[in-house]
Chains A and B, each alone.
Chain A
Amino acid sequence: MPITYTSGEQVEVYQFSVPVTVLVPVTALFLQAWLPRQFPFFTMFDLPLLVTVFFAMARRNPVSGLLTGAAIGIFQDAVTGLPIGVNGIAKTLVGYGASSLGVKLDVENMGARLLVTLVFYVVHETVYFMVARGLVALNLQWSWPHELGAALANAVVAVVLFFVLDRFKQRT
């Protein structure tokens, strides 16, 4: 039996106003570019990824999720100076995965959010690493301790960030 995204019986489907849809990702991208200048350690966080996961899980629509991920990723690539598409591909897959998972799981509680973000951060980094090395020939180094530490840090930030962003949700 196909899952309908608007059933509303088991999962809630949310939408966002246009200003929120535009301004939240732009703010995340701006903070991602600006905060490392003040706090260099901030490069370990990936706010655009967290926003992608949030929108994807809230909308619970894979097409919407992957398109949001693609747009945010491409925008991020344009700012970082890397070839456009490296972050785009990684975030497209994360957007698709997060929205697909959001259909099947209750991602409203704190523990699920922490775990989902942690997993998707690792997925994102893996895809990013593969694309950067395989397609763009960037010389990246994979370090499990670093990636897991960053995943945990991002997951903790995500719990707080999602709590704030919940205020902008509109029930369909």
Chain B
Amino acid sequence: MESLLGRYKNLIVLVVVLFAQVLGLAVQVKRTTDTDSSRLIRVWAVGTITPLERTLGWVQSGAGGMWHNYFYLRGVRAENRDLKQQIEQLRLEQVRLKEDAEQARRLQALLGFKEQFISQTVPAQVIGTGGSEQSRVFFIDKGDSDGIKPDMAVITVDGIVGKVLKVFRSTAQALLINDQSSGVGAILEKSRLQGIVRGTPAGEVVLERIMTDETVQPGEAVRTSGGDRIFPKGLPVGVVTRVSNGPDLFLNIHVRPAANLSKLEEVLVVTKLEEKEPAPSETAPVRAADILAQRLPSVPDKPAAEDANKPKEGVAPTSPTTAPKTAEANVTTNGAPAAIEKSQAISAPAKVAGASSPAKPAASNSAPSKSRARAPGPLKPAAEQGSAPPTVKVAQKVPAASKPKPPSPPAVPPPAKPEDGPQ
């Protein structure tokens, strides 16, 4: 007997080890919850790998920051000039969109719609990947101690990225939307057709469950539908690139993700979603003097002039690259897609001003919010640049009463002359 065991020792050990692993697999496949027996192994493995990734990422970003911020500044002045012009155009557009949003909120309130808002996000840095073609996951440097929970949405300013899969003490593992096991409720922007966005084994993104008798054009934008209860409605998912007939009477729609999934650096984890009925803000009467004060140009006094310069400084936090580096959670909603903008308009004031009702646009503008308080600055007359509450109110209330007239171009200061770059 002993000689038999000795003779086949290698084979016996092989069979035992394989059997143990197959058994382990069977247990894991049966249990789908996160409280499985493999949790400890994952904690050890991730605990070994992620500190190295975090350290290397820190060194890399430090060296990269040194190079890009102090040495490689070629074209910065021209870029600065272009960005300033872009800011002016975006401010104009912001006013128009704000009016549209107000109108939409009024209508939704009338119809009793409930809407989800991103009310809190946590910026996180991508520190590593799963390193496998079969599993498209990545690690972020925020975990349980930062309030991250499984199934939280992970987004960038460009669009959705994925969802949190597993959470560890100071890191978390997130699943990309192009992984074959992911699924996102999506809607086509123009045709309003709803489907499910899934990943393929090859790492592509496809929109499923749209019947072949529907017409979908390449180039159409895909947004989240909110149906998965993970991603709020309206976030960009991507753009349709190719449409063909698929199996079972469904179209095979290929989507190019809005976010660059292979080059992720900073992401936002949506830690809090609120569902509420949008409240219209135009219930309070609007004074004619306030409307006039907004429309008529006036000469700014000195303090106002100082304030007028502030938006230029305030631009920095709104940049997608700098925003996630800030420690505060809600700062990072700047520059985000439509739904994030809405969340700022509604939820940010509630936190800052401490108001019980979130839909107080007047408070939102008067509160010392990081971006909102400054954003409309140059579009308003000098009187508004200071802290005159009545005129600030008008900025939100005008659309209801006097929407037909768009903001007059003279109120917008001409694009600033090119200034020196950061040198």
Q: CB within 8 Å of B: which residues of A?
A: 2, 26, 29-30, 32-37, 40, 42-44, 62-63, 66-67, 70, 74-76, 78-86, 88-89, 92-93, 96, 100, 128, 131-132, 135-141
Contacts and interface: CB of A to CB of B under 8 A. Distances in A.
15 contacts: A34-B53, A34-B56, A34-B129, A37-B128, A37-B138, A66-B13, A67-B13, A74-B21, A78-B41, A78-B42, A78-B45, A84-B28, A85-B21, A89-B21, A92-B21
Contact of A80 (B9, B13, B135): B135
B25 A85 contact: yes
By Cβ-Cβ distance, the 7 closest A-B pairs, closest first, are A78-B45, A32-B131, A62-B10, A85-B21, A80-B130, A85-B25, A40-B262
B53 A33 contact: yes
Contact of B9 (A63, A70, A89, A93): A63
B14 A96 contact: yes
B407 to A, nearest CB: 44
A59 B26 CA distance: 32
A61 B49 CA distance: 28
Given A33-B139, A37-B129, 10 more contacts: A32-B131, A33-B131, A43-B129, A62-B14, A66-B14, A75-B45, A78-B41, A80-B130, A100-B10, A137-B29
A79 B131 CA distance: 8
Given A33-B131, A78-B44, A141-B202, A85 B14 contact: no
A123 to B, nearest CB: 14
A80 B38 CA distance: 13
Residue picked from B22, B25, B41, B53, most chain A C-beta under 10 Å: B25
Main SS of chain A's interface residues?
Answer: helix
Contact of A36 (B10, B25, B38, B129): B129
Interface in B198-217: 201-202
A2 B221 CA distance: 68
Nearest to A28: B131
Contacts of B14: 62, 66, 92-93, 96
Contacts of B175: 81
Nearest to A87: B132
Contacts of B400: none
B382 interface: no
Contacts of A135: 22, 25-26, 29
B308 to A, nearest CB: 42
A83 B129 contact: no
A76 B139 CA distance: 14
Nearest to A61: B10
B17 interface: yes
Contact of A84 (B10, B38, B53, B134): B38
Contact of A83 (B38, B128, B173): B38
Given A36-B131, A92-B14, A85 B22 contact: yes
B34 to A, nearest CB: 11
Contact of B53 (A30, A43, A67): A30
A99 to B, nearest CB: 9
B49 A29 contact: yes
A34 B201 contact: no
B126 interface: yes
A80 B22 contact: no
A84 B180 contact: no
Given A63-B9, A135-B22, A81 B135 contact: yes
A74 B53 contact: no
A106 to B, nearest CB: 21
Q: Identify the interface centre among B44, B135, B201: most chain A CB within 10 Å of its CB.
A: B135
